[in-house]
């Protein structure tokens, strides 16, 4: 007898429904599985057989064939154990096809019949709801995660015996055996997504750096802070998520799907409710940053999607690791090609970097810096030109006078956030007829439409282009930043002062990486 049970599979962050076809027939006893299976899926054969035995079910000595369709999609993970077991019980006659109709099954089976948690539940349940299924039976520890998706009943099971009793029970008894997990995702996001402890009011002085952080947050621009150790670079970076707009429900589900695929959602954290902040150590490998291993799991840049990727001590990162950011910074996604898979993960993050200007950290203060000119150049040269060209704002942070600490901090994150939200609302209104969301996303072909310049502004940019040695990419990035500064000021047109401020945030990198004398000659 043949049976078909619905399961779910993953291809990157995209989910698809998988049909688990089970046939039990006469012939030489055996348990055969086909359908482009990974190593973990192949091992399901032993887990299912022993779990059924320890649940009190003896399989007949017959030939069991399991096919996971479609066969052209690679199957990975342990979530197929439960649907395979249900399929075996259906084909053996213990269950009927009607028992599992319209139901998706996910879960790993322990040898004693325990149903263990799996990754990727949220996107799979979301796909099940989209396809019109009415019930999803998942591990109990993943039930709250799946319940964030409206339109489908999610029931968490702890043991395989529970699932069998549920499927055979009368309709009125089902809720007593496996009650549906119910949660209002919008309300959960609203309550849990409120701002937490880190506040810009705790940052003394450094008004230029805080202004750069505000502009970066308003337009989702990349930011580089350069200065001696102990001047507040990391302190400022860690507070940037607190001035970004809150996640919408759609954004939260999008980010949570990535974390679910990576296996980072738990019963205690079933939904990502605040902007991600990823701060990898400089020893991170390229595969860990972009996504790696033969399974092509999401990397740190994908975990930072819709949030902040903070690279502290930027020159200490391996050169190849930094250069691997070039394509994601432009495309807002990362393509991973592996032997068994070719997937695309979202990587729409806000890049924030911090670095010292030399190995000892105190250049150009020759009273404290003992580095030679060649050491300084070699250290700065670890950051490639193409990466610098992709950074919208560069700000120099200098040590504070002691009097700055006595005065306490400045504006709170709530105050800065209100201005950021107002600028974002202007961008939302401007881009409502396009696919753009932030000023940082404006493509070159649309510059004239969204960043028009008057005659005076155009002449200013022509002088700056020649004097600062801007590339075409650097020129356009300056215009995007100026557009954001104008939005923060409530101006519809980009004025000269907006361009001057935008250009000032490109002067720090020119000063450290050369051309300081050219800047002084222009009077900009």
- Position 404 scores a pLDDT of 62
The residue assigned the tokens 């707009």 is 245
Q: Does the structure show a pLDDT above 60 at 329?
A: yes
Residue 170 and residue 61: Cα distance in Å, rounded? 31
- Position 217 scores a pLDDT of 97
* The last residue of a domain, from among 183, 213, 232: 183
Q: Which of 191-195, 252-256, 270-274, 446-450 has the lowest mean pLDDT?
A: 191-195
432 in a domain, yes or no?
no
Confidence of residue 399 (pLDDT cuts 50, 70, 90): confident
In terms of domains, do 392 and 498 share one?
Answer: no
Burial 75-109 (b: 16+ CB within 10 A, else e): bbbbbbbbbbbbbbbbbbeebeeebbeebbbbbbb
CATH code: domain of residue 210: 3.40.50.300
- Position 459 scores a pLDDT of 94
* The last residue of a domain, from among 152, 183, 214: 183
Q: Does the structure show a pLDDT above 80 at 520?
A: no
In terms of domains, do 199 and 178 share one?
Answer: no
- Give the SS3 label for residue 307: coil
188 in a domain, yes or no?
no
- Position 522 scores a pLDDT of 43
416: CB partners within 8 A, 6+ apart: 200, 210, 213, 214, 217, 243
SS3 string, 6-67, reads: EEEEEECCEEEEEEEEEEEECCCCEEEEECCECHHHHCHHHHHHHHHHHCCCCCCCCEEEEE
CA angle 346, 348, 352 (to 5 degrees): 135
Tell me the sheet residues that pair with 396: 226
Tell me the sheet residues that pair with 190: none
In terms of domains, do 206 and 324 share one?
Answer: yes
* The last residue of a domain, from among 162, 183, 204: 183
Backbone angles phi, psi at 395, to 5 degrees: -130, 135
Q: What percent of the chain has pLDDT over 70?
A: 94
- Position 514 scores a pLDDT of 62
In terms of domains, do 254 and 375 share one?
Answer: yes
- Give the SS3 label for residue 223: strand
Residue 425 and residue 428: Cα distance in Å, rounded? 5
In terms of domains, do 314 and 200 share one?
Answer: yes
In terms of domains, do 141 and 240 share one?
Answer: no
Q: What is the pLDDT of residues 100-120, one digit of tens each?
A: 999 999 999 999 999 999 999
N-term to C-term CA, the chain: 81
* Domain count within the chain: 3
**Distances from the Cα of 103 to the Cαs of 67, 115, 181, 491, in angstroms?**
18, 17, 15, 54
Confidence of residue 337 (pLDDT cuts 50, 70, 90): confident
- Position 11 scores a pLDDT of 87
Can you give the residue range of the structural domain that contains 345? 195-414
262 in a domain, yes or no?
yes
Residue 307 and residue 277: Cα distance in Å, rounded? 6
In terms of domains, do 144 and 51 share one?
Answer: yes
- Position 446 scores a pLDDT of 94
Confidence of residue 515 (pLDDT cuts 50, 70, 90): very low
- Position 192 scores a pLDDT of 83
Q: What is the pLDDT of residues 406-440, one digit of tens each?
A: 555 678 999 999 999 999 999 999 999 899 999 99
């Amino acid at each position: 007898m043949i049976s078909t049970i619905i399961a779910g599979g993953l291809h990157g962050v995209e989910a698809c429904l998988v049909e688990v076809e089970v046939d039990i027939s006469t012939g030489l006893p055996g348990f055969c599985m086909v359908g482009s299976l990974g190593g973990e899926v192949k091992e399901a054969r032993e887990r299912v057989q022993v779990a059924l035995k320890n649940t009190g079910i003896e399989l007949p000595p017959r030939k069991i064939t399991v096919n996971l369709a479609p066969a052209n999609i690679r199957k990975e993970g342990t979530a197929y154990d439960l649907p395979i077991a249900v399929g075996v019980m259906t084909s053996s006659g213990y269950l009927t096809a009607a028992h599992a109709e319209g139901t998706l099954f996910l879960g790993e089976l322990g040898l004693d019949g325990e149903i263990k948690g799996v990754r990727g539940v949220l996107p799979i349940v979301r796909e099940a709801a989209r396809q019109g299924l009415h019930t999803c039976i998942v591990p109990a520890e993943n039930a709250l995660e799946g319940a964030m998706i409206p339109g489908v009943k999610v029931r968490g099971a702890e043991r395989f015996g529970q699932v069998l009793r549920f499927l055979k029970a009368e309709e009125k008894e089902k809720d007593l055996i496996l009650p549906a997990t119910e949660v209002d995702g919008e309300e959960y996001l609203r309550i849990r997504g409120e701002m937490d402890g880190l506040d810009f009011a705790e940052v003394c002085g450094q008004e230029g750096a805080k202004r750069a952080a505000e502009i970066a947050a308003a337009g989702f621009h990349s930011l580089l802070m350069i200065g001696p150790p102990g001047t507040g670079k990391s302190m400022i970076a860690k507070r940037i998520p607190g001035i970004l707009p809150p996640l919408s429900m759609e954004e939260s589900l999008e980010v949570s799907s990535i974390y679910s695929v990576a296996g980072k959602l738990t019963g205690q954290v079933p939904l990502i409710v605040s902007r991600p902040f990823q701060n990898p150590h400089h020893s991170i490998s390229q595969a860990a940053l972009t996504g790696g291993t033969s399974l092509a799991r999401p990397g740190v840049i994908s975990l930072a999607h819709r949030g902040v990727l903070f690279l502290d001590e930027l020159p200490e990162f391996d050169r190849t690791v930094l250069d691997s950011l070039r394509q994601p910074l432009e495309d807002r996604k990362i393509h991973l090609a592996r032997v068994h898979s070719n997937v695309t993960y979202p990587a729409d993050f806000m890049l924030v970097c911090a670095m010292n200007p030399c190995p000892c950290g105190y250049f150009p203060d020759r009273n404290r810096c003992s580095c030679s000119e060649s050491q300084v150049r070699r250290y700065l040269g670890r950051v490639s030109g193409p990466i610098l060209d992709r950074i919208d704002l560069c700000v120099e942070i200098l040590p504070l006078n002691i009097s700055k600490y006595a005065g306490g901090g400045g504006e709170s994150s709530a105050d800065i956030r209100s201005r950021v939200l107002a600028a974002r609302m202007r961008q939302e209104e401007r881009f409502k007829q396009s696919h753009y969301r932030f000023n940082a996303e404006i493509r070159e072909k649309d510059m004239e439409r969204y960043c028009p310049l008057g005659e005076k502004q155009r002449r200013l940019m022509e002088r700056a282009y020649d004097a600062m040695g801007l590339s075409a990419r650097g020129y356009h990035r300056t215009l995007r930043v100026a557009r954001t500064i104008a939005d923060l000021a409530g101006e519809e047109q980009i004025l000269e002062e907006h361009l001057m401020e935008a250009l000032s945030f490109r002067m720090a990198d020119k000063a450290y990486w050369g051309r300081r004398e050219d800047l002084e000659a222009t009077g900009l």
